[in-house]
């Protein structure tokens, strides 16, 4: 039995780099595509939001001399590049996929509306929503929460390089303790860097659960959908 029938999958741009310092690792991209390509056949309706940190991060632009608005707009374009790459990999894997953009960018992608995206999901297509919220000062975590709520996803799955939320960065602190489940308020109180506070607030106010898991482990996405107790659930 599939636990969730409609999901929003958030992927970080950094994860696309694999072991590289920049850009897209084709092996990681294709592995993600193979995991995602299974979802329509098991009855899971899927929307995806991807970050752009492997190409350009808006906040980094300010340290390079760009104003914040221009930097964030460049970051939005980076998410479009990642979305087009994933669409290509998914189509190669034999899955119908559409890219929607939060700003008008035809013919690169279809201008996003909740109705069009939901219709495509209902028809068994993978929907990738690029360009963040279309506004500066908002992260792709916030965009993910917003699109999940708009498309009535049952849960937001955040695929990362670690297997959940810890008391500290497990890559730096080996004694860090992993949470199996945590509340939104505890995320605030402990100042855990799960998502930015705007995204957490959106999820809390709309009762949207978030599951953080290791997307780099083969088969992990399908395991989550089958109800396996992996990752950390925020609710």
Report how far apart, in Å, the C-alpha atoms of 231 and of each of 3, 159, 186 are: 15, 10, 17
- The angle subtended at Cα 90 by Cα 160 and Cα 164, nearest 5°, is 10
Of residues 117 and 228, the one with the higher pLDDT is 117
> Considering the entire predicted model, what is its pTM?
0.94
**Backbone conformation region of residue 227, classed left if phi is above 0, alpha if psi is from -120 to 50, else beta:** left
> For position 200, what pLDDT does the model report?
93
Please give the distance of CA 38 from its chain centroid, rounded to a whole number.
17
Which residue from 129, 139, 142, 71 is spatially nearest to 102, judged by alpha carbons?
129
Cis peptide before 107 (omega within 30 of 0): yes
DSSP 19: T
pLDDT at site 60: 67
Please spell the DSSP secondary structure of 44-64, one letter per residue. -EEEEEE--TTT--HHHHHHT
Residue 11: pLDDT band (50, 70, 90) is very high
pLDDT attached to residue 21: 87
Q: Please check the confidence at residue 59 and state whether its pLDDT lies above 70.
A: no
The Cα–Cα gap between 171 and 139 comes to 23
- pLDDT class for 32, splitting at 50, 70, 90? very high
pLDDT tens digits along 149-187: 999 999 999 998 888 999 988 878 889 899 999 999 999
Ordered structural domains, the chain, with CATH: 6-234 (3.40.1160.10)
């Amino acid at each position: 039995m599939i636990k969730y029938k409609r999901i929003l999958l958030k992927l970080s741009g950094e994860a696309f780099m694999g072991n590289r310092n920049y850009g897209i690792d084709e092996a990681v991209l294709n592995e993600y595509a193979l995991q995602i390509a299974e979802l329509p056949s098991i009855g899971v309706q899927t929307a995806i939001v991807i970050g752009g940190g492997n190409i350009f991060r808006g906040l980094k632009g300010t340290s390079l001399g760009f104003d914040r608005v221009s930097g964030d707009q460049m970051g939005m374009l980076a998410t479009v590049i990642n979305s087009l790459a994933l669409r290509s990999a998914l189509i190669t894997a034999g899955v119908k996929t559409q890219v929607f953009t939060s700003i008008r960018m035809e013919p690169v992608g279809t201008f996003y509306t909740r109705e069009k995206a939901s219709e495509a999901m209902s028809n068994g297509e993978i929907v990738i929503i690029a360009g963040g919220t279309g506004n500066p000062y908002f992260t792709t975590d916030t965009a993910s929460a917003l699109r999940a709520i708009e498309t009535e996803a049952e849960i937001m799955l955040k695929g990362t390089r670690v297997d959940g939320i810890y008391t500290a960065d497990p890559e730096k602190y080996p004694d860090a303790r992993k949470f199996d489940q945590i509340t939104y308020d505890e995320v605030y109180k402990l100042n855990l860097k799960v998502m930015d506070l705007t995204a957490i607030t959106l999820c809390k106010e709309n009762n949207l659960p978030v599951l953080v898991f290791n997307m780099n482990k083969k088969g992990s996405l399908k395991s989550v959908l089958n109800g396996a107790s992996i990752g950390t659930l925020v609710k």
